[in-house]
Structure formats: C-alpha cells, structure tokens
Amino acid sequence: MVPIFTLKLNHKINPRMVAVGKFDGVHPCLTAATQAGKVFIHNPHDRGQRPVTHRLSQSTQDSDISLLNINQAVTCLTAGTLGPNTTGDTLLVGSQTNLLAYDVHDNTDVFYRDVADGANAIVLGKLGDISSPLAIIGGNCALQGFDYEGNDHFWTVRFDANTSHRITSLLVGSEDFDIRVFKEDQLISELNENETVTSLCHMHGSRFGYALANGTVGVYDRMARYWRIKSKNHAMSIHAFDLNADGVVELITGWSNGKIDARSDRTGEVIFKDNFSSSVAGVVEGDYRLDGQVQLICTSIEGEVRGYLPASKDLKGNLMDSNAEQDRIRELSQRRQNLLLELRNYEENAKGVSQTNSGIGVIPANTQLQTMLSVRAATEAQKAHVELSISTPNETIIRAVLIFAEGIFEGESHVVHPSVQNLSGCVRVPIIPPKDIPVDLHIKAFVGGRTSTQFHVFEITRQLPRFSMYEITEDSPAAPAGTVSFSINERPQRVVMWLNQNFLLPEVVENPNVTFNSLRGGGLMSFHMATNGQVDEFHSVHQKLTADMADHSNYIRNMLVQAEDARLMADMKTMKKRYRELFDLNRDLINEYTIRSNNHNALLARLKSVNQAIQRAGRLRVGKAKNQVIAACRDAIKSNNVNALFRIMRAGTASS
C-alpha cells in the first residue's frame, strides 16, 4: 500500500497541532501550527489572490499557504463547526493565555478570550443538555467550554493538568496518570495508568484509544483494557480510521521515529506500517482530493504530507507488503535459533545428570520459588517500603532476579544481580509504590547451584495489594481528627475479607476494627464498624439538605393522595385544604432547591477564584519552581490548610 499523494510543504509543523477544516464549507484545508507563533493554512483548491488582513498573510515560500499570525506560542489547535449559521468551519487556536476563534473564509475574529488557566488541549462538540456546540479547553487545573459568541457555558475544576480530551461524555487525560470520564461536570469513572496521558482518540461506541508519555499505546472499552503495547519511541499522534475497509476503524499511530502503523482495535496486531524520514507531527483525515473518498493524512515535523486511501476489496484486511512478510520470516528464523539453543542447553543438562562429578545446571527436582511481601517502616538507612523476599527451599542459590511492574520502577523493570560473594538462596527487593493502585509483579529468577554456569529460569507473578504502603499498628493511639461515616449493606465478614485482600497484613485479621499507619505521610487511618453495619463518618450539610428535600417529597406524595381521596368523596372543603397545604409544601421545596443551586454556583465561583489565584502565583515562577508551587497549593487545599496556602503563594514553600 503506497500513498495516493505526497506533498512537501516549506514549513515545519509543531507536533500534535494538525487539523483539517472546510473553512468555506466545501474545500478541506490542512491547518497546522508552525514556528514563530504562526498557523499555516494549506489550500490547494483556491489559487486566486487571497486578501491580506491584520492576521492573515500570504506565504512567500508557497503560493498555496496562508499564514495566520498569533504572536505567541501555540499550544493547541482544532477546526470544526462552532456557530449555528456559519458558512464553514471555525479555526480555534489556543495559547497559554488566550483562545482565538477565527473565521478563515471571512478573515475575521469570531472571538478572542483570555484563558487564565491556559489551553493545553481543545476539542469541539456538543456536551450534555447544552444545545449549541462548545469549544472545550483543557487547562492546567480546569475545563472551560465556550460557545460561538465566546460565552463561558461550561466550567469545572480538576486539580491536575488536562492534556487531551474527547467528547463522548467527556474524556479527560491528565498529568497525574489518570483518565477521567465526566458527565457534564460530574466525574462518573476513573482509569489509572502509569504515565502521563498525552493523547486520547474515540474509536466507536464506548471504545477509545490512548497514548502515554512512556511510549505506551492501547485501547479501552469502557473500564476494560483490550490491549496495549509499549515502544521505546513516543506516540506523537493517534487517530481512528478504517484503513483496511473491513467496516471497523483501526488505531493509527504516528511515532517520534517517523513510523506510522495501523493496529487492529481488537488485538493490537499491526496491519499496516510506513515510515517518514522525521518524527510524525499529526494524523488526520479528509477528502483532500475532492473525489468523494476520505483519505488518511499523515504529516511530519519537517512538512512532509502523505495521503492514504482505504484498501480496495482485493486487499481487504491484508495491507502488509512483501517487506513486512520478509520481516516476519526473519523474526521466525530468530525464534527458531533461540529454540535450538535452548534444546542444546537441555541436552547438556541431561549429560550433566549422568556424570556424578558434574553439577552443571542441575538442581533438585523439588526446587520452588517462594515469595513473600511485607511492610517495612522507615529507618535511618532506608525509607519506608514494601519488601519483596524471593527464596528457594534448598541449597540452591539465586543468581539474578528480574522484576517487571508498571508504574513502580523506572523503565517498568528492575534487575537485582548479587555479587559472587553475596550469593544465597534469598534475595530481598525494596519496593516503593508511588500510588495506591494494585500492581502485578512479574518475577523471573535465575536459580542454580553455587558452581553452576547454567541456570534455570523460574517465572512467577505476584500481585501487590492496592494499599500496600499502610502498616497495621497494634498500639492504641489517639483517634484521627478527621472522620467520615457511611452505611454499607455488607456483613462484617465481607469488610474483613476486603481488608485482607487490599492491605499487606502480617496475619489474617478477623475484626474490621483496625488502625493503619501511612508510610508515605505518617498519618493514621482507623476503621471502626458498628454491629449494625455503620462505619463512623461525618455527615455533611449537603446530605442533610438532601434528606430534608426527600422528606418534603414524601409529604407532597401523601398530601396528593389525601386530596384526591377527598375529591372522589366529594369533600370539597378537605380537598381545598389539602391542595393549599400541597401548594405551600411545593413552594418550600422550590425555595430549598434555589438555596442549593445558589450555594453550588457560589462554590463554583469561589473555586474558580482560588484556581486563578494559584495560577497567578505559579506564573510568578518558571520551570520546576512553577510546578512545585502549583502542586503544593493543591496539597494545601486538599488538606484544608489555608495558612499553608497563603505561605506557599508568598514564599513558594509551606515551611515558615
């Protein structure tokens, strides 16, 4: 499969800032951010003299390209239908301080808004019950939605940086390794990853693709991950496109080494690949040749553009060329050589068994790999950690241990190789999980005799519980100051089972009343469960208001039944009395709802003000200091420490 067209533009392209828009409603134009705070618009369909405005000018290097002056670094870009009565698509360009909506066809600004939180990602679409399309901006700490007139119709705050999002409900990826799903401004689900989310791509139905900063690319369907792969290169752009004409879109990925590949959404199998001479900048789609067929359009940072047509019926489902088949043959040949080498090692081991004086690679038949996880408190020499102990039950020694785990080790792997003087049948590995998530530890150990030159490889998988960095304490410390209580419809035995499965305990607990010490922050966490299934927590005012409204609703229901009974019995006096009471109750209910609504809006306004204050404090610093100030402010808000928040804003640190 070869490109149907190739272009060489004389402008460099910023990564992840490529779009295709029909700005006159008919002709698709390739649009991308380029150097010096400019956006170029490639329009080969209209070669007439284009007017020059205060923003738009003709490129001196290419007659098909117009340049849009933004005069500041572009951080995100997209194009699509924003207004209800516009001729064509609207171009939206975001920077760290502003959002520009531009009508390319009429050469006018649609609106220009200050965005104090910055614009790291942008997407167009309808959200929830809001009738008009919105341009939804993901900033450092908040999401904002603007309509065609620049009005702020949607805003919600999340204390993490939003790097990419798509409207399904609203899918948000962030720098704290989470993918969150919003229904309007309500968080409805959350997925944990092990690196910063850089790209998200809706595929079909509830299925979406994602890319991480460590080179991982994969596909989720709702909360279940279908597949993922990891590369030593970085995924610069992902896009959903049916390249093999089988009726199901594939995940198209552009990589930092210039490779383009298409993978099955079900298995992750590569069905097509091609290469650029430089890093891929973006992957989009459009009918660029105006022949009624949509092409997959891939761009590189050096300005090279290639368009690919979906496969014909003859090539349906099979796009790999002969070179790829040769690569597959070489891969199978290498695997054959590895298997032959392994067979030769087994034959040498068999010879060693028959020779009484040689113990090359031979270990007792009852050799097993035993693992144990335990919590270790901090000492002067070492931080608090989880200790993984790997041992054998006999006189064999462990020569090396390889551990593969997501999000714990740098590069997702860790190797322990004891020196010859320290060889033994037990290896202890300290592990410090950065977050409270369950992690599978894939362990490979090289086991043999002390004089062995060949070793047996034992493989075992052990799961690290979610709350492994909490140590159970037998002392009776003072109860924590902050409490929360809730009702559960579970027996105490089920709560005990949950505790045993999610914490690292030296022995099985039989009572849900336990206290843990956090090894990260040093705080206490106590569980107390009453015999009626109540866990002590603090009841918020919001719950009280909700309960009052529920009571009023029950009163209204009863009053309505009584009024209808009086009407059927022709008791007009009682009926009027009940309806008057019903009117009063309904008025009270409306007033309570108004109070809740006003409180909610006031809370959003205060959160917005606090968020903007944090951003202003962060902009007083640069680089690492800026990120540290913002992160420290978030921690102070989470712990409700107002004094620390003020100190951080003034001095950059919480210490007095």
User: What is the residue extent of each domain of the chain?
Assistant: 373-464, 471-527, 551-651
Report d(CA 655, CA 475) in Å as an integer. 30
* pLDDT on residue 292: 87
Report d(CA 96, CA 76) in Å as an integer. 9
H helix or E strand, kind and range, residue 335: helix 322-354
Would the pTM of this model clear 0.85, i.e. be above it?
Answer: no
Per-residue tokens: 292: 């009624």
Which residue positions in the chain have pLDDT lower than 50?
A: 159-168, 356-359, 533-541
The answer to whether 635 and 627 have CB atoms below 8 angstroms apart is no
Q: Which residues of 555-592 are buried (b: 16+ CB within 10 A; e: fewer)?
A: bbeebeebbeebeeeeeeeebeebbeebeebeeebeee
Which phi and psi angles does 162 have, rounded to 5°? -90, 120
What are the residues whose beta carbons fall under 8 Å from the beta carbon of 496, sequence distance 6 or more? 509, 510, 511, 512
Please state the separation of Cα 134 from the chain's center in Å: 22
Report d(CA 646, CA 532) in Å as an integer. 43
- Sign of the Cα torsion 125, 126, 130, 131 reads positive
The answer to whether 59 and 89 have CB atoms below 8 angstroms apart is no
Burial of 355: CB neighbours in 10 Å, binned 0-12, 13-18, 19+: exposed
End-to-end CA distance of the chain: 65
Enumerate the β-bridge partners of residue 274. Answer: 260
Report d(CA 519, CA 500) in Å as an integer. 18
Domain 373-464 adopts which CATH fold?
Immunoglobulin-like (2.60.40)
> Residue 521 to residues 479, 518, 643: CA-CA distances in angstroms?
16, 6, 19
Please state the separation of Cα 473 from the chain's center in Å: 35
Give the closest residue to 103 by CA, choosing from 113, 94, 92. 92
Long-range pairs of 408-413 with CB within 8 A, sequence gap ≥ 24: 408/432, 408/433, 408/434, 408/439, 408/464, 412/194, 412/214, 412/230
Please state the separation of Cα 507 from the chain's center in Å: 36
Report d(CA 155, CA 136) in Å as an integer. 9
Burial of 220: CB neighbours in 10 Å, binned 0-12, 13-18, 19+: buried
> Residue 243 to residues 192, 297, 318, 382: CA-CA distances in angstroms?
30, 11, 10, 53
* pLDDT on residue 50: 55
Please state the separation of Cα 351 from the chain's center in Å: 53
What are the residues whose beta carbons fall under 8 Å from the beta carbon of 557, sequence distance 6 or more? none
Report d(CA 79, CA 31) in Å as an integer. 8
From the CA atom positions of the chain, what is the Rg in Å?
31
H helix or E strand, kind and range, residue 273: strand 270-275
CB atoms inside a 10 Å sphere around CB 604: 14
Report d(CA 205, CA 91) in Å as an integer. 27
